[in-house]
Each structure stands twice: as structure tokens, then as C-alpha cells.
Amino acid sequence: MQLMLVPVAHISKKSAELAKETILREKPQLIGLELCRERLEGLVRGRARSMDIVTALRHPTSALMFVAQQALGKWWHVNPGSEMLEALRAASEIERPVALLDRPIRATARQIERIPLKEKFGMLFSGGASPFGKKMKLSDLMEPENLEVLLSKLEKDFPVSYEVFVDSRNRYMFRKLLFHKPETAVLVVGAAHVPGILKLTKESEEKISVEIAR
């Protein structure tokens, strides 16, 4: 398999452009997206900014994270999920199938609730402190070497959160990708998932050549 990874920030205009340009250029057999069906339906119907009250009450941690992402999207003047919509449009333009690879959002929400309170409060009151000792631009945080530092700190300080948000979803998406058995694929995922997926390709018994879109 020839795999092109497209690392994106879910609130970045540049990421949306990169996803579209890469798909149109590569014209792969399959486009894999970090989406589940429920999230896709919400994006297509324009409900990316909503969360039903039942889900919010049952999964308050997920609700808080959802609100935070919406606020960041408003700050940067881009809707969360815009990069996935651009990928969908590009796939439609070249008439290629799309695979929804991420774990169902409700399943992830249930996993979030098992994160210890100590970790939840730790993440809440960390204030987003940078391990680099200074404020950094979103583009800087997307660089592989900086991502490695951030992910290493997350895994060390909040191991259950890391397993829920990053590691378990890496494995889930990679298994689903292999299930489709494409010869060529473009995978559009949050940048935090790229190091883990790269590691999985190296450990896999399948022959997979990987590139990262820039």
C-alpha cells in the first residue's frame, strides 16, 4: 500500500487547503477520514456547532471539550471540520470512495467518562501550559518534532487521556484502513495521530510505504 498522511488541525484554514490539494494531486484509490458516520452527518447537515442536550448531560467532559473547540474555531474564523468537508468535496470531484475510519463519537464519549477525575482536573487547570516555555503558533505546533514533545508530555502526565484520545483511536483507524486493502490511500487525520499511525505502519506485517503531505 502507498499511504499519504495529511496531518491537519481541526480549526485551520491551511489544513483544509492541504487536504483538498493533496487528494486532487494524488488521486488515490481511497480517501480515509478521521470521522465517524454521526460526525459526518452533522457536518454535511451544517450541525457541526450543535450538541444535543442528552449527550451533553450524559457526557459532560465531552461537552466541555466540544465547547472549547467551537470557541477556538470562532477565534480563528474557521468551522471545526472544515478540512474534512474539503476532503469530501475533493473526493467527490475525482469520484473516489471515502472511508470513515474513526471510532463512533458516542463510543469515544463513553471512554472519556472513564478518565480519572485527577486527570480531568489536571488537564483543566494546566491552563494549556506549553512544555516549550513559550507561546507558539498553531503552525509551529504542527511540526513533527514539536508534536512529539507535546504527545510525550500528554502520555506522561495524562496516560488514560492519551489512551482514550490518541492511542486507541490510532489503532482503530489503522485497522479499518487495512480492512479496505487499498493500493493507494490518502488519510486525513488530526496531526496528533500521525506519529502513532506511522509507528503502526512500521510494526504492521503489511508492506506500506508512507509519505506525509506538506
The distance in angstroms from the start CA to the end CA of the chain is 20
Q: What is the pTM of this model?
A: 0.78
Lowest mean pLDDT of 87-91, 137-141, 205-209, name the range: 137-141
Find which of 55-64, 137-146, 180-189 is predicted with most confidence, using mean pLDDT.
180-189
87 — pLDDT class (breaks 50, 70, 90): very high
Would you say residue 72 has pLDDT above 50? no
Total number of domains constituting the chain? 1
Dist. CA 187–CA 2, nearest whole Å = 11
Lowest mean pLDDT of 103-107, 108-112, 179-183, 185-189, name the range: 108-112
Q: Give helix 37-44 / helix 82-93 axis angle, nearest 10°.
A: 90
Cell numbers that stand for 86 in this block:
474539503
Would you say residue 123 has pLDDT above 90? no
Which residues form the domain of 17?
2-212
Q: Give, as one character, the DSSP assignment of residue 38.
A: H
Query: Residue 206: how many CB atoms within 10 A of its CB?
Result: 10
How much is the pLDDT for 73? 39
The answer to whether 10 and 69 have CB atoms below 8 angstroms apart is yes
How much is the pLDDT for 46? 67
Lowest mean pLDDT of 19-33, 123-137, 184-198, name the range: 123-137
